[in-house]
């Protein structure tokens, strides 16, 4: 069994996680803009206002953790992709260097 990594795929996933972090921040901003009640806007929902405040606090905490996790994962996966690219290149170079030199055939015009 062998272990194989496609650095391009790891990098793609890294970029997707970075996009997720941005989307989570946009969702958090939206929730904070439209999810809060003013003193005049409570109306019948005023009974829920106390619970709503704690819900918004919890929502912000969860979205913050998700954003930080996605961002950190994105950076680490990007670094991993670079590592695999370097080691693949180094391994290929070492393998090529282990073979004896062979004179290449010289072709003549028209061959």
Answer yes or no: are the C-beta atoms of 11 and 77 closer than 8 Å: yes
The count of structural domains within the chain is 1
| DSSP tag of 43 | G
Asked if residue 111 has pLDDT above 60, the reply is: no
Q: Whole-angstrom Cα distance, residue 84 to residue 90?
A: 10
Q: What are the tokens at 81?
A: 């992709």
The answer to whether residue 67 is domain-embedded is yes
Q: Whole-angstrom Cα distance, residue 62 to residue 69?
A: 10
> pTM surpassing 0.75?
no
Q: Which residue has the higher pLDDT, 84 or 43?
A: 84
Domain extent for 73: 1-36+48-83
How confident is the model at residue 45, as a pLDDT? 65
The answer to whether residue 100 is domain-embedded is no
How confident is the model at residue 28, as a pLDDT? 96
The answer to whether residue 53 is domain-embedded is yes
The answer to whether residue 41 is domain-embedded is no
Q: Whole-angstrom Cα distance, residue 7 to residue 82?
A: 7
How confident is the model at residue 62, as a pLDDT? 98
Calculate Rg over the CA atoms of the chain: 27
Element (H or E) spanning 9, and its range?
helix 7-34
| DSSP string of 21-40, one letter each residue | HHHHHHHHHHHHHHS---TT
pLDDT above 90 covers a percentage of the chain that reads 50
């Amino acid at each position: 069994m062998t272990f194989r990594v496609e650095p391009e795929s790891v990098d793609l996933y890294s970029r997707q996680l970075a996009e997720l972090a941005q989307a989570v921040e946009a969702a958090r901003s939206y929730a904070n803009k439209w999810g809060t009640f003013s003193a005049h806007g409570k109306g019948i929902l005023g009974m829920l206002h106390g619970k709503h405040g704690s819900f918004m606090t919890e929502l912000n905490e969860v979205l913050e953790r998700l954003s930080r996790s996605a961002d950190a994962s994105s950076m680490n996966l990007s670094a991993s992709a670079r590592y695999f690219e370097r080691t693949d290149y180094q391994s290929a170079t070492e393998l090529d260097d282990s073979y004896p030199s062979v004179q290449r055939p010289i072709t003549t015009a028209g061959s």
